[in-house]
């Protein structure tokens, strides 16, 4: 009998429990459980309901027991940058804020009073995003200093969930790097920077690599879910897991991890912390085996997801793609990375307003709205590919798209057309597969990343677009 491994993959809009096994060298997936996620309004802020999310994690584990498919190990990945602060009794201090909350407004200037922006980039290699952990912790320092003073442990969200399962506190490397507080040289927290910023350095735990064993379930969790297994760190940042699953046929390929966000980049052995890189807003996030994910955050399917909800979910994403293709002659475009699209009260109105303010025709129909979004995204991908080639001095003839967005056939076709590159689309469950790969490599199912990636290419239907 093949061993089962469990990936708990939690995104900003939903989570899923996916069992994986290796049969005849191929990875086989089975979705066991799925649940909704989203920020909740609390005290006027956008927050995460971690208690409910942990309940969903356990509900999915119980489903494994019900089906008689008990994993030998499991691991949790989530989106980046968000965290909890624990007190001396391991209780959460205050709210667990979401990255779309507005409390970080102005916190960049607070940070730059202590360390100039250029110096910060040269030191961390991480692109400026107002929701980065560095600005969130600064908001804690400025607005809730009493909570920060009480904090004894800092844990990113997946590390917190692993702690709730096992009672062991372990901080994972790839997710930590996204927060702009880790040194690309030492691959550990930059304690000198942390002290400069006035954060309690004793609350930060040493960083561990994917494949590290966190521990077995606590007795309490074991009794509730009906079994115990090892929690093993995947790349807990969902994009780091998704990039692990890129079924690259060569080293010289671009990738897009396509979901709520589109993360587009390449893998490098060393961080690129040049001023040109900073000005183009590229980041050097940590990856598996200390590879650097040199990438740019691009507003992804968040825009079309939001418009779909505003249309009362009357259309599937496939239908919206078809409608966008029918309206392909509609001429207007938006800068998908403009801050007005990060968390608008109404995405449809934000797009219309942007078009009007830039002297363009405002979209009226669902097809026109979808056309503006998909065309604008594809053009952003093309521009980003060209920037990467300029900075690295390399040519990348192919783009590998993984994640849920790899199913958007029309967007894939547009990306190939506009970029002049071959697009390989799939697998769709890239993040969960990458999560499983870290566990499978740890267990000896694969000798390493290269063999695991070759298996991904053979295991899942990767579609080709363009030349």
* Residue positions annotated with a catalytic role: 238
Task: Indicate the length of the chain as a whole number.
Answer: 467
How would you label 28-56 residue by residue, b for 16+ Cβ within 10 Å and e otherwise? ebeebbebebebeeeeebbbbebeebeeb
Phi-psi region of 44 (alpha: psi -120 to 50; beta: other; left: phi over 0): left
β-pairing, 83-86 with 73-77? Answer: unpaired
DSSP H/E element including 46: strand 45-47
The residues that bridge with 97 in the sheet, in sequence order, are 47
E strand residue ranges, 327-441: 398-402, 422-425
Distance of alpha carbon 414 from alpha carbon 422, whole angstroms: 11
Token pair belonging to 279: 């000005």
Q: 319, 160 in Cβ contact below 8 A?
A: no
Q: 179, 155 in Cβ contact below 8 A?
A: no
Can you give the C-alpha Rg of the chain in angstroms?
21
């Amino acid at each position: 009998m093949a061993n089962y491994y469990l990936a708990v993959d939690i995104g900003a809009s939903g989570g899923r429990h996916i069992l994986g096994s290796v049969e005849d060298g191929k990875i086989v997936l089975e979705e066991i459980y799925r649940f909704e996620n989203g920020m909740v309004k609390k005290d006027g802020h956008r927050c995460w309901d971690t208690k409910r999310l942990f309940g969903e994690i356990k509900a999915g584990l119980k489903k494994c027991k019900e089906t008689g498919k008990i994993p030998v190990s499991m691991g949790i990945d989530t989106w980046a940058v968000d965290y909890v602060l624990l007190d001396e009794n391991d209780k959460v201090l205050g709210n667990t804020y979401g990255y779309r909350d507005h409390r970080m407004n102005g916190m960049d200037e607070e940070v730059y009073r202590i360390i100039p922006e250029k110096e910060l980039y040269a030191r961390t290699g991480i692109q400026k995003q107002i929701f980065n952990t560095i600005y969130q912790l600064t908001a804690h320092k400025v607005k809730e200093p009493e909570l920060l003073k009480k904090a004894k442990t800092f844990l990113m969200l997946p590390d917190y969930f692993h702690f709730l399962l096992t009672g062991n506190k372990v901080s994972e490397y790839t997710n930590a790097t996204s927060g702009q507080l880790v040194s690309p040289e030492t691959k550990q927290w930059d304690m000198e920077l942390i002290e400069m910023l006035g954060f309690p350095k004793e609350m930060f735990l040493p960083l561990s690599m994917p494949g590290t064993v966190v521990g077995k379930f606590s007795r309490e969790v074991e009794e509730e879910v009906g079994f115990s297994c090892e929690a093993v760190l995947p790349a807990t940042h969902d994009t780091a897991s998704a990039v692990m699953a890129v079924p690259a046929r060569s080293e010289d390929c671009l990738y897009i991890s396509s979901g709520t966000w589109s993360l587009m980049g390449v893998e490098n052995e060393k961080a690129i912390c040049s001023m040109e890189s900073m000005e183009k807003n590229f980041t050097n996030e940590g990856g598996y085996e200390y590879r650097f994910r040199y990438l740019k955050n691009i507003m992804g399917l968040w825009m079309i997801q939001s418009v779909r909800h505003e249309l009362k979910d009357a259309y599937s994403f496939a239908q919206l793609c078809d409608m966008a293709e029918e309206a392909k002659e509609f001429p207007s475009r938006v800068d998908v990375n403009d801050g007005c699209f990060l968390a608008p009260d109404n995405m449809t109105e934000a797009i219309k307003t942007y078009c009007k303010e830039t002297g363009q025709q405002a979209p009226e129909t669902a097809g026109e709205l979808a056309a503006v979004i998909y065309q604008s995204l594809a053009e952003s991908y093309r521009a980003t590919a060209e920037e990467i080639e300029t900075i690295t001095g390399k040519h990348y003839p192919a783009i590998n798209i993984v994640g849920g967005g790899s199913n958007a056939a029309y967007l894939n076709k547009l990306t190939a057309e506009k970029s002049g590159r071959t697009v390989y689309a799939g697998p769709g469950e890239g993040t969960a597969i990458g999560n499983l790969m870290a566990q499978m490599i740890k267990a000896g199912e694969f000798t390493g990343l290269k063999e695991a990636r070759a298996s991904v290419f053979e295991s899942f239907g990767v579609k080709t677009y363009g030349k």
